[in-house]
Structures are given as C-alpha cells and as structure tokens.
Structure 1
C-alpha cells in the first residue's frame, strides 16, 4: 500500500520519503495529510487519507505528535475500520487489505491529490466540529465516513461526478470477486403513539450497530433535531419488565447507578434475546418510541441502515409532549383559530403530512 505524504505530515514524522512509484495501482494508493480541526489548538489533530482511485476518505481524530511513531499501522487499521463501519463485506475488506500489503510512504507530488485531501479534510473537520466539543479526550478512526456520501468531481462536467463510497465498493467487488455486503441485520418496527395517530418507521439496521449510531438513525427517520437528552430501555418479553437502561453520558449515572453507558454497546448484545425496547427522546416532551424486532436477517446483502416504510408526521420539537401536540394540531387544522398564525410562524417549515421524499424507501446516511 503506497501512501503519499504531504510535506506537513512528512516533516512531522521526520522522514524523507522516496518519490511515488508511477506503476502503483491507484486503488492501493492513498494521499495523506495532517490537519487541524480546532483553531485554538497549537498542533494538528487529524490525519486524513484519500484513495487515489475512488476518492474514498478515511480520517483519524485525535492524533497527537507522539502517536505518529505508529502512524503506518494506525492508517491501515483506520482504512479497514472505515470500510467495515460502512458494512462492506468483511471478506472483501480482508482481501483488499491483504492485496494492498504493508504501508510504504512516498512523497506526494500531485497537486490534484493534494487538493482532494485538503477538501476532504475540511469536510471531516466540519463533521468533527458538529459531533464533538473539542475538549473531551476521544479517538475515532471512522470520522471520515460522512465525507464518502457526498458527490465529488462535479466542478467540470456534472455527468462525471460520482459518490466515493459507491466507487470504492464497486472497485473492491471487481478486484476481489466478492459480494459487496454480507452481514447480520435486524428489521425493526418503530412506532411513536401521538394519540391522534401513530407515526411508524420500519427500518433495517446492522445487528452490530452501536447504540450511539442507532440513536442518529432514529433521529434521522423521525426528523428530530438531536437537541435533547435520550435513553434506551430494554424489556423482558411482552411483560414490560426492564432488563437494562442505556444512557449516553456519564453524568446520568448520578441518577441511575444501574444504567449502562452506551459507548461500545451494540443492539446484538440484547437482540434477538429481547425483542422490545423503548427509545425516549427529550425527557421534557417525553417522546416514547416503541421498538419491536420483526426479523433477523442472517446474511443481509444490501446497504443499511435502510428505511423500508414511513408514515405519520413527527411533531415539531418543544411542542409540549403528546398533549401539546394534540392541541397544536387542532389549531393548525383550523385556519380561523385565533392562534393559527402564531402557531404556523412558530413551527416554521413543519408540515402536517410527511413529504413524498420522507416516505420514500432509502438508505439512511448518518
């Protein structure tokens, strides 16, 4: 595997790399840069790699100067982890990493690939800035995932644009002769009872999806804004006997010492042994989403998370729970109501019905 280093990264590593080999397969070639996410940091804190054939992005955050001594292995691991995070067939990923071989560093002399990795670095920095506060100590080598869902190569002829992850999965399937996706998945029915109707979302998710990512999927399909606290509660059978409560932040343990911190925990730890759970979002409005396991798909061969079905509009944020929503909805259904104009202005772009796009089956890019 040939990795071309920018001058900044080569200088930081203190190595004088040879020139790149012109005959190297671009699918086994990457360009890497060391960049900064936070302006108030003295040193760089993220390594970004872009594949020269597909423009697939891999990013590692937080990387300190002392970590650079192990950067070759760190890069290989990050490439593998990012592909696996996106549910690429583990056999396909393993074969690609075997064929790519050990990391060999070279000098980057291409202005084009330098521009690619700079652009990818900006996109990854925006993602990190939105996801993390920049204060807490954390490490992630999959923060480049979101960049792979955006089209590239569209500055000239728009017909030549493509999506990096699609280009990567196609290239790896052709290279290895293995199917693109192969993993265990769950089909889930998620319902939100709003008294006047039930909002329903039927989705497929990887069995090994972490709760933190599952939360993002639910936020997306229910069109929430991710601005309130939440938790998950697992139940024993149909008896509604709580088995476990899963929370996102350590501070929550002060109020419930028996709760689990969700970091590192996956759905497969509880499903299919337990088939029901509750996702509660916004402890004030108390939106309780019932989650039921419909089926286990042992060898799922398609991309996910995936929305199969959607019906019923979600209430606007901070409407006051189910009771507040019922009252709000009655006002919005009556243009002659004295509070109609005020409620319409407050809800801004909220609509009474789901749009055609929100009902359409689609891949959920978290």
Structure 2
C-alpha cells in the first residue's frame, strides 16, 4: 500500500520519503494530509487520506504529533474500520488489506490528489464541527464516512459525477470477487400516532447500529431537525414495563439514576430479545415513536440504513405536541381561517401531505 504524504505531514513525521511511483492498481494508492479542524488551535489534529482510484475518504480525529510515530498502523486500522463501519463484507475488507500489503510512504507531488485530500479535509472538518463540541477528549477513525456520500468530480456535467463510497464498493468487489455486503440486519416498523392519522416508516438497519446513529436515521425519515433532547425506552415482552432507558447526555442521568448513557450501545443488545421500543423526541412536545421489530435478516446483502416505505406527514417542529398539531392542521386545512396566513408563514415549506420523494425507497444517508 502506497501512501503519498503532503509536505506538511512528512515534515511533521520527520521523514523524507522518496517520490511517489505509479501503482499498477491505483486502488492500493492513497494520499494523506494532516490538517486542522478548529481554527483556534495551533496544532493540526486530523489525518485525512483519499484513495487515488475512487476518492474514498478516511479521516482520523484526534491525532497529536506524538501519535505520528505509529502512523502507519493508525492509517491501516482506520481504512479497515471505515470500510467495516459502512457494513461492507468483512471478508472483502480483509482480502483488500492483505492484497494492499505493508505501508510504503512516498512524497506526494500530484496536484490533483493534493486538492482532493484538501477538499476531503474540509468536508470532514465540517462534520466534526457539527457533531462534536471540541472540548472533551475524543478519538475516532471513522469521521470520514460522511464525506463518501457527497458527489465528487461534478463540473456542470452530471454524468461525470460519482459517489466515492459507490466507486470503492464496485472496485473492491471487482478486485476480490466477493459480495459487497454481508451482515445481520433488522427490519423495523416505526409508528408516530398523531390521533388524526399515523405517520409510519418501515426501515432496514444494521443489527449492530449504535443508538446515536439510529437517532439520526429516525430524524431523517421523520424529517425532524434535531433541535431537542431524545431517549429510547425498551419494554419487556407482552407488557409495558420498561427494561431499560437510554439517554444521550450525562446530564440526563441526574434526572434518572437508572438510565443508561447510550454512547457505545447497539440495537442488538436489546433486539430481538425484546421487540418493543419507544423513541421519544422533544420532551416538551413528547413525540413518541413506537418501534417494532418486524424481522431479523441474518445475512443482509444490500446497503442500509434503508427506507422501505413511508406514509403520513410529520408535524412541524415546536407545534405544541399532538394537541397543538391538531389545531395547527385544522387551520392549514382551511385557507379562509383568519390565522391561516400567519400559520403558513410560520410553517414555511411544510405541507399537509407527505411529498412523494420522501416516501420512495432509498438509502438513508446520515
């Protein structure tokens, strides 16, 4: 595996690698840079790698100068973890890493790949900035995942653009001859009862999806804006006795000492042993989403999280719970109502009916 270093990174590592050479298969060739996430910090704190064949991004945050002595191992582990975090077949990932071989550092002199890795660094910095407060200590070698779902090589002609994750999957499948996906998954039915109708979403998610990620999936398919607190409550079979309640912040534990901090916990810890769960979003409006396990897919061979179907429009944020929504909906159904104009302006682009594109089957990118 050839990893071409930018001048900044090679200087920080204290090495003077040879010039990069052309690999027979550019799939084994990467370009790497060391960059900042936060403008108010002196030192760089994120390593970014871009694959020269597919523009697939791998990013590692936080990386300090002292960590660079083990950078080859850190990079290989990050490539593996990023691919696995996207639910790719572990056998496929293992074979790729074996075929790629040991890391060979070279000096990057390719302006195009240098621009690719710089752009990927900005994408990853935006992601970290949105997801993380930058105060507490954190290490993650999968923060590059989101960048791979953004179209690249787009210069006004849509036929030239492509998604890095799709390009990487195709390339790895052709290289190894193995299927791209092979993992355990759950089909879930999520119902938000609004009394006048029900908003229902049927999705497929990895069995080992973390609750923090499941929250993002639910926010996406129900068109919420992630403005408020949330939790997950798991119930025992055939009763409404809570088995566990998972919360997102340590401060939440002050109000419920029996709650569990959800960080690091995955769905398969509770499903399929239990089959009933409630996701509550916005403790003021109290939107309770009933989550039911429909089936277990032992060897799922397609991409997920995936929306199978959807029905029923979601209320706008901060409408005032079910009671507030019913009053709001009544006004929106009557253009002659004296409050219609004000409500329409407040609701902005909200519509009474769920848009067709929101109900179509699709991959859920979060």
- TM-score class, shorter: over 0.9
Work out the CA distance in 1 between the residues paired with 2:339 and 2:309.
34
Q: After superposition, give the CA deviation of every residue in 1:112-152 in whole Å (9 maximum; x if it has no partner).
A: 10010011111111111111112221111111111111111
Work out the CA distance in 1 between the residues paired with 2:267 and 2:222.
19
How far does residue 24 in structure 1 lie from its aligned partner after superposition?
Answer: 4.6
SS in 1 for 2:288: strand
In the alignment, what sits opposite 1:305? 305
Q: After superposition, give the CA deviation of every residue in 1:16-62 in whole Å (9 maximum; x if it has no partner).
A: 11121223521011000001111101111111100000000011111
In the alignment, what sits opposite 1:189? 189
Equivalent pair of 2:23/2:29 in contact (CA under 8 Å): no
SS in 2 for 1:74: helix
In the alignment, what sits opposite 2:353? 353
SS in 1 for 2:129: helix
In the alignment, what sits opposite 2:70? 70
Work out the CA distance in 1 between the residues paired with 2:311 and 2:336.
28
Q: After superposition, give the CA deviation of every residue in 1:220-270 in whole Å (9 maximum; x if it has no partner).
A: 000000010000001101201100000111111111111111111000111
Work out the CA distance in 1 between the residues paired with 2:139 and 2:292.
33
In the alignment, what sits opposite 1:271? 271
Equivalent pair of 1:2/1:24 in contact (CA under 8 Å): no
Structure 1 residue ranges (4+ consecutive) displaced by more than 3 angstroms after TM superposition = none
TM-score by length of 1: 0.98
Work out the CA distance in 1 between the residues paired with 2:365 and 2:157.
25
2:351 is the counterpart of 1:317? no
2:175 is the counterpart of 1:172? no
In the alignment, what sits opposite 2:83? 83
Work out the CA distance in 2 between the residues paired with 1:160 and 1:353.
35
In the alignment, what sits opposite 1:8? 8
Equivalent pair of 1:13/1:69 in contact (CA under 8 Å): yes
In the alignment, what sits opposite 1:110? 110
SS in 2 for 1:190: strand
In the alignment, what sits opposite 2:330? 330
SS in 2 for 1:4: strand
Q: Which runs of 5+ in 2 are unaligned?
A: none
SS in 1 for 2:95: helix
In the alignment, what sits opposite 1:31? 31
Q: After superposition, give the CA deviation of every residue in 1:166-218 in whole Å (9 maximum; x if it has no partner).
A: 11000000100100100000000000000100000000000000000000000
How far does residue 153 in structure 1 lie from its aligned partner after superposition?
Answer: 1.3
Superposed CA RMSD in Å reads 0.9
Work out the CA distance in 2 between the residues paired with 1:187 and 1:157.
37
Work out the CA distance in 2 between the residues paired with 1:213 and 1:265.
10
Work out the CA distance in 2 between the residues paired with 1:195 and 1:23.
62
How far does residue 156 in structure 1 lie from its aligned partner after superposition?
Answer: 6.4
Q: Which stretch shows the higher mean deviation, 184-193 or 149-158?
A: 149-158
Equivalent pair of 1:230/1:281 in contact (CA under 8 Å): yes
How far does residue 157 in structure 1 lie from its aligned partner after superposition?
Answer: 4.4
In the alignment, what sits opposite 2:138? 138
Equivalent pair of 1:32/1:48 in contact (CA under 8 Å): yes
In the alignment, what sits opposite 1:42? 42
TM-aligned CA distance change 1:96 to 1:335, over 3 Å: same
TM-aligned CA distance change 1:29 to 1:23, over 3 Å: closer
SS in 2 for 1:278: strand
How far does residue 359 in structure 1 lie from its aligned partner after superposition?
Answer: 0.6
Q: Which runs of 5+ in 1 are unaligned?
A: none
TM-score by length of 2: 0.98
| Aligned residues between the structures | 366
How far does residue 337 in structure 1 lie from its aligned partner after superposition?
Answer: 1.2
How far does residue 163 in structure 1 lie from its aligned partner after superposition?
Answer: 1.1
